[in-house]
Amino acid sequence: MVHHTEPAAGRHPAEVRRDTTLLEIRGLSAAYGQLVVLKDVDLKVSPGELVCIIGPNGAGKTTLLKLVNGLLRPSAGEILFEGERIDGRPAYRVARCGVTQMFQDVQLCPTISVLDNVMTGCHVWTQAGFLSTGFRLRRARDEEDVIRTVALDQLRALGLGDRVDAKPRELSWGEQKLVGLARALVARPSLVLLDEPYGGLVQDEIERLSCLLRELTAGGMTVLMVEHLTDVVMDVASRVVVLHYGEKIAEGPPQAIRNDERVVASYLGE
Ligand SMILES: Nc1ncnc2c1ncn2[C@@H]1O[C@H](COP(=O)(O)OP(=O)(O)OP(=O)(O)O)[C@@H](O)[C@H]1O
Ligand SMILES: [Mg+2]
C-alpha cells in the first residue's frame, strides 16, 4: 500500500481563520548591488485575502514577490509565514511551506507537453525519491498516476482539458498563463504569488481568471498579486498596496485607493 502525502485541495473554508495573519512582512528592504529597490516595507496578509500590489514600472513589485518566495534575500527586515521566519530560506523550502507562484513571464518548459508542465508543479508533495523514480519502481509509478490525475483535473477545471498534449508554444498567451496558474495550483499552496497574471489576456480570459481567483479565495486560498490593470485590481482585490520607488505609500480597500490623492498623482493619474 502506497501512502501519498497529497494534501486535501486547498483548505476547507471552515478551517480558514480570516482574523489571523498568514504572511507578515516587517521592515523589508532589498537592493541589487548599490541600487536600493525596496525600503522598509511592512505588510500583513490574512488567510483568504486577495491583496494586490500596484505601482509604476520599477517600483519593486516583482522584487517583493521574489523576496517572499525565497528567490532573493532581503538586505533588512523579516518575512514570517504562519508565524515562522522564512526570509533567507532557499526557494524549495519556502515552496514546501505552501507558497507557490506564477512569474511575470510564466516560464513554461517549451520541450514538454502542457500536462507534463503542470505535473512538475506537484513535486512539492511527492514522496518517491530519485532512485525509485529512476528505476520506475512500483511506488514511483503509483505516485505518477496520482500526479497525472491531479494535473489533468486542474487543467480541465481551467478549461484546458483539450490542450493537455500540446506543447506550450502551440497555445495562446492567455492559455499559457492558465497553464502556469495550473502548475502553481497543483502544488496545493495556501499562498499563491501572481506576477501580472492578467497581462496579455483577452476580455473573456480576464473574466475567467477573475472568477477563478474569487473561487480560490472563497475556498480559503490566499493570493498576493502584482497587477497593472487597474479595473481588474479594483474588481478583485480585497486590499490594495501601493509601492512607489520601493516604498509603500498607501494601503487600503480598492475604493479608498482609487480616491487617494498621492496614489492618483504618482500612479493612477498616469
Ligand atoms: N536582477 C536585477 N539586477 C539589477 N537590477 C534589477 C534586477 N531586477 C530588477 N532590477 C531593478 O530593480 C527595480 C525594481 O524592479 P522590479 O522588477 O521589482 O520592479 P516592478 O515594480 O516589478 O516593475 P514592472 O512593473 O516593470 O514589472 C528596477 O529599477 C529594476 O530595474
Ligand atoms: Mg514586475
Judgement on whether residues 193 and 178 belong to the same structural domain of the protein: no
Do 29 and 74 meet the contact criterion of CB atoms below 8 Å apart?
yes
Instruction: Choose between 122 and 268: higher pLDDT.
Output: 122
- Ligand 1 atom showing the smallest separation from residue 59 Cα: 21
**Residue 59 Cβ contacting ligand 1 at under 6 Å:** yes
What are the pLDDT digits (tens) for 232-245?
A: 999 999 999 999 99
Probe ligand 1: pick from 35, 37, 106, 245, max atoms within 8 Å of CB?
Answer: 37
Judgement on whether residues 45 and 117 belong to the same structural domain of the protein: no
Summary mean pLDDT of the chain: 89
Say yes or no to pLDDT of 2 above 70: no
Q: Collapse the DSSP code of 3 into the 3-class scheme (helix H, G, I; strand E, B; otherwise coil) and give the result.
A: coil
What pTM does this model have?
0.89
CA distance 120 to 65: 21
Q: Which of 146, 170, 187 is the last residue of a domain?
A: 187
Judgement on whether residues 237 and 257 belong to the same structural domain of the protein: yes
Nearest to 214 by CA among 202, 230, 229, 225: 225
Is 121 among the domain residues?
yes
* Residue 268, φ and ψ in degrees, nearest 5: -65, -25
Nearest to 52 by CA among 250, 264, 237: 237
Is 142 among the domain residues?
yes
Nearest CA to ligand 1 atom 13: 58
Per-residue pLDDT, 143: 82
Average pLDDT estimate for 174-192: 94
Q: Which of the four pLDDT bands, split at 50, 70 and 90, describes residue 270?
A: low
**Residue 173 Cβ contacting ligand 1 at under 6 Å:** no
Q: How far apart are the first and last CA of the chain?
A: 60
Judgement on whether residues 198 and 256 belong to the same structural domain of the protein: yes
| Residue 80 belongs to domain spanning | 19-98+189-270
Judgement on whether residues 157 and 54 belong to the same structural domain of the protein: no
Q: Which of 187, 219, 248 is the last residue of a domain?
A: 187
Probe ligand 1: pick from 29, 36, 61, 244, max atoms within 8 Å of CB?
Answer: 61
CB burial string 227-236: b at 16+ within 10 A, e below: bebbebbbeb
The single residue listed with the C-alpha cell 481551467 is 158
The single residue listed with the C-alpha cell 507534463 is 116
Per-residue pLDDT, 15: 66
CA–centroid distance, residue 26 to ligand 2 (Å): 21
Question: Of 46-55, 211-220, 261-270, which gets the smallest average pLDDT?
Answer: 261-270
Judgement on whether residues 94 and 144 belong to the same structural domain of the protein: no
Average pLDDT estimate for 41-63: 96
